[in-house]
Structure 1
Amino acid sequence: MAYAIEPSDGRTLRTQVSIDPLWQSVDNGSHADRPFSPLHVPRTLLSDDAEFDELLGEIFERIEAGSAPSPEEYLQRYPQFADELTEFFRNQAWFAAPALAETLAGDSEPMVAASFVGCEVGPYRLIEEIARGGMGVVYRALQTELNREVAVKLISSGAMASPEELRRFRQEAEAAAQLHHPNIVPIYDVGSWRGQTYFSMTLIEGESLQDWVASRRCTIQQAVVAVREIARAVSYAHRRGIVHRDLKPANILVDGEGKPMLTDFGLAKWHRDGSALTQTGQILGTPNYMSPEQASGSTKIGPSADIYALGAVLYSLLTGQPPHCGESTVEILTKVLGCEPVPPRELNREVSSDLQRICMECLNHDPKERYATAAELADDLDRYLNGDSISAGHSGMFLELARTLRRDQHYEHFRNWGKALVLMGLSIFLAHVAIFVLVRRGHSDWAAYWTPRCYMAVALTAVIYYYRSGTLRARSVAERPIWSIWMGYLVALGTMNAILTLRGTSQVEVFPFASTLAAFGFVALGGHVWGGSYLLGGLFVVNALVSVFIGQWAILSFGACWQLALAVLAYRYRKDAPS
């Protein structure tokens, strides 16, 4: 079928392109995870410039003919349209590749970034492509002046690279160039070629630890030694203020002598001066080996994130799989944030209990509970290899309980709720003080109980509405279970009050049951958000039992428990609370 590019403002580009195969790929569900628009021509590219229209027409005709237009070629031929062409090609790569590349070209090879094999890049002649990742392409190259083989890395998006990609690529070179360690791949040279940044480094002839993981052919001894050596290299980088942030088996190469070599500092950051490539909560890293703080999008990523990743690498070498697996990135990140890894011994009985403790200490959800430094991890692995006692603590019942109470899966999401929680607690307490006073003065149940409750409901609704910017509904995955818990609490409590009213029973009888329901709510909250809520649930259990014996004073004790519980939560989620 032929398709004319027709923007909504009535202008029409003169290009006709066959897109039947592309629509078929959409119909059968492929690439359903990305937004789709047939030709993905951004509005900013729609102009009245006839020359540019003809240029787009030429590009689409080449695509239809099975050719792969080179962005570099068109940027060089039409420098006056550099911005528009860059946006166009980047738009194609994001929305349609590989679907557009594979289907519009019919049976031809899919469009990929240009290869520069055979090119002279500075003093290097590129011989063959040996690796391609999300940000860079690595070539085997010959440094002609010294007649030695090296590895040369260029940014994969080439001339279309965004400022963020260029900054990240250059930072990789700068970070690695500052590090001189026997287990870190050294950088030789950084330069620019045809407007692209490149750098050269030692050529490692061998495999990566990912090959060890996939083949399951390394012994436990080899795994421990490899991680120990890389931990020493990471400790060296940390002492110089550099955090890697993307440690994984694929970034650890093994040279001809079996020595592990750390590479790919593309996400590295300097942690001493606080500088980082992203300050907006963007998630950077590889999900399977990412620490919980990275998975949450936190900007406070320090050396402990690398310690977590070292534990994840060790885990993979011992078990043949990363600590958290899933069919999608979202599923993996959800597990990283909310699930404990399966202990390695359950997947490989040859793993000793001491080695499991070392591994699991690295993988603690709370950064404060991991090894304090990568050097401490390396020392503990040394002790394990020498048969000495390790420093990693036993995970006893009391330690597990303490960890459970400290755990907070959605801290960043609920931070700043402090003032709202204080006002809610105060509203509940004052309402129950009013109920108590009215009951003691002999008012009817309707006047004594339901008038203050109506005012309390209005006050709580107003506080929630105000502090949540004009909405009462749950707006996130983190909020929905909380809404469900407390809506269930209110429905159950309202039903119990209705039953007591219909039976002519005094409303004071509801408070032991109301405390029991509140206990259930806080225990559920402990499992979903902050573990300390378990203790608040216990407070309401005690109050429920006491309320049976104190008559009308149960009204005040119930309101006081709510005020105390919400005050504790308010302190936890105050604006200036440390994370």
Structure 2
Amino acid sequence: MNLSESSEHDEQLARLLGELTDAAQRGETVDLAEVCAEHPTFAEELRLLWGAVMFADAAGSDRSAGFSSAASIDRWQGLKTPCLIDDYELLEEIGRGGMGVVYRARQESLNREVAVKMILRGELASTADLERFYTEAQAAARLDHHGIVPVYEVGELGGHSYFSMKYIEGSTLLQLLATGPLPPREAARLIAAVAKAIHFAHQQGVLHRDLKPSNILLDEHGQPHVTDFGLAKQATDQGNLTRTGAVLGTPSYMSPEQANGVRDLGPATDVYSLGAMLYHALAGRPPFQAATPLDTILLLREQEPVPPRVLNPQANRDLEMIALRCLQKPSDLRYRSADDLARDLEAFLNDEPIAARSGRFSHVIARMFRETHHAVVLENWGLLWMWHSLAIFVACLLTNVVFWIDMQYSLQGVRYYYFALWTAGFGAWAAVFWALRRRMGPVLFVERQIAHVWAASIICIAMLFPLEAWLSLEPLKLSPILGLINGMVFFVKAGILSGAFYLQSLALFLTAVAMALAPEVAHLIFGAVSAACFFFPGLKYYRQRMKSQSVR
């Protein structure tokens, strides 16, 4: 891609992101999967950037909203405690966030100590703030579990919406973790208790979606209690909290699907966050931590967490395996439920075998053969790969025909026929292939990487013929190396695009052996296997592209 094309590509991407962001801010539905299907050229970059854009937009919205309501907030910032407001005597402020403030209070009518959470912006609160606030109250109110902080009452004080809840005297898990990694059994006990509470919430149709150490309160007996259901999603909820595909959660503890702005989240999202808290308890820091939230999101999307024992050699191996299973990027490779996680932690506490260890091999195999987030670019190559399979088979057929003729008639200069076919012939086809791809739209960075690997393989193949001459070998004596070169190319593709290409790589490595054993038909064997390796994936991704376009 030249400079002008690259600039045009960036401008088009920026305009598209701007349009999507504007739509999200208007409260319109932004279906990222549908947008990627409509704009396959930008699909990979959209998936990478959309989560970061929405997170930045959400952060900016919170800041701007805060400035717009400064006068309303000032009253509560300057509030002197203790003071009596309606039925509540506010004793002291115990917590404050971007949206609300929490007071330790006494409810006069019932003479009980409670915690009162109040929305800061009062009458100036946005619809989204009020919706999130009441979502938290409604979600917690329907959950009657000893591990979840109960909500007592919802109402309004001095123009500010509030709800009262049980007051938990103690600290937070975050404060406990600030002292460093926890002892293994203590970490397992705490996260197991939280996982049971979250499983109960899931059974009631409620997802928390913002589990993090600061949302886990520890009472005077060291028992954890889950709070802050402000991002909770109820099974029957069709509200605006998830309409825009915005990034919801805290970057260091959110799941990859949350970072990608996926709307249809399930229990596996909370399982990931539970694993992130367990990881923090073992390693002394979250699995992903960077200078900014956006950098953290990019780390979460692109990298695997460092094993806790690398950061803390004293971390328990079994708990490390449990945490890493929770942190699998494909959600179906995590524990099926928070209850399964709790059971495995209890098995650890009871010195019993853990499921994370017994299932590890199958998980590794499953991960190995999965597509990466770059695989979407193959939709641009599907039809081209099918044509490429034909070009390979024709070239190999012609090579074998020339080989048979040479065996009968001892052609003069036959080496140059082969060289012309595999250099000039494939060089011309490569130019046509690349021109056709560029007509489909700007070429992505990952595609250029794959193209460089492919070009290197063509150069290696072309060099085989002069090498045979310099080594005084018969023409095509080094032909089995074709299988090795192309097997290597697919091995690289497997790491970048899809683990399924490991199968093609293995087939081509074995093809090299078959070519050495049957030199009379070596190129026919290579042509058939290599063509199949390109044709069937090409057909799959071509159909995938056609299906995506038909949905538009």
TM-score normalised per structure 1: 0.68
Gaps of 5+ in 2: 1-59, 406-413
Cα pair distance change 1:482/1:523, threshold 3 Å: farther
CA distance in 2, matches of 1:564, 1:318: 44
Partner of 1:490: 455
Task: Tell me the SS of whatever aligns to 2:271.
Answer: helix
| Larger mean Cα displacement after TM superposition, 332-341 or 509-518 | 509-518
CA distances 1:338-385 after superposition (whole Å, capped 9, x unpaired): 444333344445544433333333233332232222122222322332
Partner of 1:61: none
- Among candidates 391, 403, 409, match of residue 431 of structure 1: 391
Instruction: Report whether the alignment pairs 1:342 with 2:306.
Output: yes
Partner of 2:325: 361
| Larger mean Cα displacement after TM superposition, 302-311 or 285-294 | 285-294
CA distance in 2, matches of 1:337, 1:234: 24
Partner of 2:523: 554
Cα pair distance change 1:247/1:195, threshold 3 Å: same
1:303 Cα deviation from its structure 2 partner: 0.5
| Larger mean Cα displacement after TM superposition, 164-173 or 176-185 | 164-173
1:389 Cα deviation from its structure 2 partner: 3.5
Gaps of 5+ in 1: 1-89, 98-109, 475-479
Cα pair distance change 1:355/1:91, threshold 3 Å: closer
Instruction: Report whether the alignment pairs 1:211 with 2:175.
Output: yes
1:564 Cα deviation from its structure 2 partner: 2.5
1:186 Cα deviation from its structure 2 partner: 0.9
- Among candidates 505, 524, 528, match of residue 492 of structure 2: 524
CA distance in 2, matches of 1:169, 1:254: 23
Cα pair distance change 1:455/1:342, threshold 3 Å: closer
Tell me which amino acid in the other structure corresponds to 1:493. I
Partner of 2:241: 277
CA distance in 2, matches of 1:192, 1:287: 32
Q: Which structure ranks higher in relative contact order (CA pairs < 8 Å, sequence separation ≥ 6)? A: 2
CA distance in 2, matches of 1:437, 1:217: 64
Instruction: Report whether the alignment pairs 1:460 with 2:420.
Output: no
1:283 Cα deviation from its structure 2 partner: 2.1
Partner of 1:47: none
CA distances 1:428-486 after superposition (whole Å, capped 9, x unpaired): 1222344356553789669856786477446634653465xx22x21xxxxx2442232
Instruction: Report whether the alignment pairs 1:187 with 2:156.
Output: no
1:493 Cα deviation from its structure 2 partner: 1.7
CA distance in 2, matches of 1:533, 1:159: 58
CA distance in 2, matches of 1:424, 1:533: 17
Instruction: Report whether the alignment pairs 1:264 with 2:224.
Output: no
Partner of 1:239: 203
1:304 Cα deviation from its structure 2 partner: 1.2
Cα pair distance change 1:436/1:286, threshold 3 Å: same
Instruction: Report whether the alignment pairs 1:405 with 2:368.
Output: yes
Cα pair distance change 1:445/1:320, threshold 3 Å: closer
1:328 Cα deviation from its structure 2 partner: 3.1
Instruction: Report whether the alignment pairs 1:539 with 2:499.
Output: no
How do 1:373-412 residues align onto structure 2 when only pairs under 5 Å count?
373-394=337-358, 398-399=361-362, 401-410=364-373
CA distance in 1, matches of 2:425, 2:135: 62
CA distances 1:295-327 after superposition (whole Å, capped 9, x unpaired): 333333210121122122122223322223333
Tell me which amino acid in the other structure corresponds to 2:511. N
1:156 Cα deviation from its structure 2 partner: 4.3
Task: Tell me the SS of whatever aligns to 1:284.
Answer: coil
CA distance in 1, matches of 2:420, 2:313: 68
Tell me which amino acid in the other structure corresponds to 2:258. Q
Aligned residues: 467
Cα pair distance change 1:509/1:196, threshold 3 Å: farther
Tell me which amino acid in the other structure corresponds to 2:497. V
CA distance in 1, matches of 2:120, 2:150: 21
CA distance in 2, matches of 1:250, 1:383: 26
Tell me which amino acid in the other structure corresponds to 1:268. A
Cα pair distance change 1:155/1:462, threshold 3 Å: farther
Tell me which amino acid in the other structure corresponds to 1:554. H
CA distances 1:516-546 after superposition (whole Å, capped 9, x unpaired): 3433332223223322323322223233444
Query: CA contact under 8 A between 1:208 and 1:253: conserved in structure 2?
Result: yes
1:126 Cα deviation from its structure 2 partner: 4.0
How do 1:68-147 residues align onto structure 2 when only pairs under 5 Å count?
93-94=63-64, 113-116=73-76, 117-118=79-80, 123-147=87-111
Task: Tell me the SS of whatever aligns to 2:341.
Answer: helix
Instruction: Report whether the alignment pairs 1:370 with 2:334.
Output: yes
Query: CA contact under 8 A between 1:357 and 1:394: conserved in structure 2?
Result: no
Task: Tell me the SS of whatever aligns to 2:145.
Answer: coil
1:247 Cα deviation from its structure 2 partner: 1.0
Cα pair distance change 1:499/1:381, threshold 3 Å: closer
1:259 Cα deviation from its structure 2 partner: 2.1
Cα pair distance change 1:274/1:460, threshold 3 Å: farther
Task: Tell me the SS of whatever aligns to 1:189.
Answer: strand
- Among candidates 250, 253, 278, match of residue 217 of structure 2: 253
Cα pair distance change 1:428/1:92, threshold 3 Å: closer
CA distance in 1, matches of 2:214, 2:426: 61
CA distances 1:552-576 after superposition (whole Å, capped 9, x unpaired): 7526734642443452376479367
CA distance in 2, matches of 1:257, 1:502: 77
Q: CA RMSD in A?
A: 4.1
Cα pair distance change 1:436/1:183, threshold 3 Å: closer
Cα pair distance change 1:216/1:92, threshold 3 Å: closer
CA distances 1:196-238 after superposition (whole Å, capped 9, x unpaired): 4332222222100111111138543332222222111101100
CA distance in 1, matches of 2:507, 2:72: 62
Partner of 1:318: 282
Partner of 2:119: 155
Query: CA contact under 8 A between 1:511 and 1:555: conserved in structure 2?
Result: no
| Larger mean Cα displacement after TM superposition, 567-576 or 167-176 | 567-576
CA distance in 1, matches of 2:130, 2:531: 54
Tell me which amino acid in the other structure corresponds to 2:335. Y
Cα pair distance change 1:558/1:195, threshold 3 Å: farther
Tell me which amino acid in the other structure corresponds to 1:431. A
Cα pair distance change 1:550/1:251, threshold 3 Å: same
CA distance in 1, matches of 2:175, 2:206: 27
CA distance in 2, matches of 1:145, 1:345: 53
Cα pair distance change 1:572/1:287, threshold 3 Å: farther
Cα pair distance change 1:245/1:552, threshold 3 Å: same
Task: Tell me the SS of whatever aligns to 1:393.
Answer: helix
Cα pair distance change 1:510/1:189, threshold 3 Å: farther
CA distance in 1, matches of 2:192, 2:180: 19
